[in-house]
Structure 1
Amino acid sequence: MAKLTTPSENLSLPGAKLAIAAAEAKAAEIGVPMNIAVVDASTHLLHFSRMPGAKITSISIAIDKAFTAAGHRQGTHLYKEAVWPGGAAYGLGNTNGGRFTTFGGGLPILNAKGEVVGGIGASTGTPVQDQQVVQAGVDALNKAFKGEGSLKAKL
């Protein structure tokens, strides 16, 4: 089976597909169809899925959440308090051509060494639901990077 990272430790397409499959399973479990995007460490789109019934207007939001998580190397949910008027990061959402996302549903993807190799974003549900979905994708990759469980055979 294809490796989840290349020798340069970048996220590969098989890894992105694994993350999206796990995220889609979580979205189905909670009953919310999602748009789910995975970007590489350079914030370029690597893989995208739009589940039947996911909001069309959420396509770019999912991509931008993945972009923000990979590019700034932290979850989009961490900006909630800082971006309000008077906050330390007020106006941050207007940067990067308006792509910088400051609400939940985007997480960085770390390899086994703890380096950011990409990001995953989901959108259609509430920020909490979107966060649950991307966490499932990250969890699946973490297990695969460590060679744990049934995912070990996929490496």
Structure 2
Amino acid sequence: MMKKKMIGKTFAVAAVITGLSAFGLSAQDMRPVLNSASAKKITEGCEAYALDHDLKVNIAVLDQGTNMMAFLRMDGAPIGSIDIAEWKANSSAASGRPTKARFEAAKNFPAIGHAPNIAVFEGGEPIFTLDGVLLGGVGVSGAASADDAACARAGIEAAGLTFKR
């Protein structure tokens, strides 16, 4: 008898869980994440932009958790800019803001430039879905800051994503 009650309760719990999932309810809503295919398209788009504009840059693509998804050092890109590209990507991925915004903020609050993982050089751009979900960040370094930023934005757009919320 006890075994039948246990089986009955198990089926009841399973039915409730199945019913909830049928309505789209869950303990944790799923959100889009940056995948390797999109990260690769971003680096390819950045590289194409850089080649068209005769730039030699390093390109870092990080997901929202600031994990490296893709990296490209173009032939002739400055070795010293490798860490800067990752730093810019990290700053944008973690904050959801372009690094240029941090540069502007540092004008009025210089101490922000000393905070860990906050890049104040233009060239880091956040990656968003077209619905505004933050996926990560791209950092480009090796050219003039404005060119780095334009390159990052071109890569994001090449992947069918956006750098604006």
Instruction: Tell me the TM-score normalized by structure 1.
Output: 0.81
What letter is aligned with 2:36? Answer: L
Alpha-carbon distance in 1 for matches of 2:105, 2:126: 19
SS at match of 1:83: helix
Matches within 5 A, 1:66-105: 66-84=89-107, 87=108, 89-96=109-116, 99-105=117-123
**Counterpart residue identity of residue 51, structure 1:** M
Q: By how many angstroms is 1:125 displaced?
A: 0.4
- 1:61 counterpart residue number: 84
Match of 1:35 among 58, 62, 65: 58
> Which letter maps to 1:58?
S
| Structure 1 CA distance for aligned equivalents of residues 35 and 43 of structure 2 | 12
Report the secondary structure of 1:82's partner residue.
helix
SS class of match (2:41): helix
**Kept in 1: contact 2:129–2:161 (CA 8 A):** no
- The letter of the residue matching 1:131 is A
1:143, CA displacement in angstroms? 5.6
Please state whether the residue corresponding to 1:9 is helix, strand or coil. Answer: coil
Equivalent runs, 1:112-151 vs 2, <5 Å: 112-142=130-160
Unpaired segments of 5 or more residues in structure 1?
Answer: 1-6, 145-155
Answer with 1 or 2: which has the greater Rg: 2
RMSD: 1.5
Structure having the higher helix fraction is 2
Aligned residues: percent identity?
Answer: 32
CA contact (8 A) 2:127 2:161 kept: no
Deviations 1:19-41 (A, max 9, x none): 00000000111101110000001
Q: Which amino acid aligns with 1:92?
A: I
Unaligned runs of 5+ in 2: 1-29
Paired residues of 2:130 and 2:161 also in contact (CA < 8 A): no
Structure 2 counterpart SS, 1:120: strand
Q: How many residues align?
A: 133
- The AA in structure 2 aligned to 1:21 is E
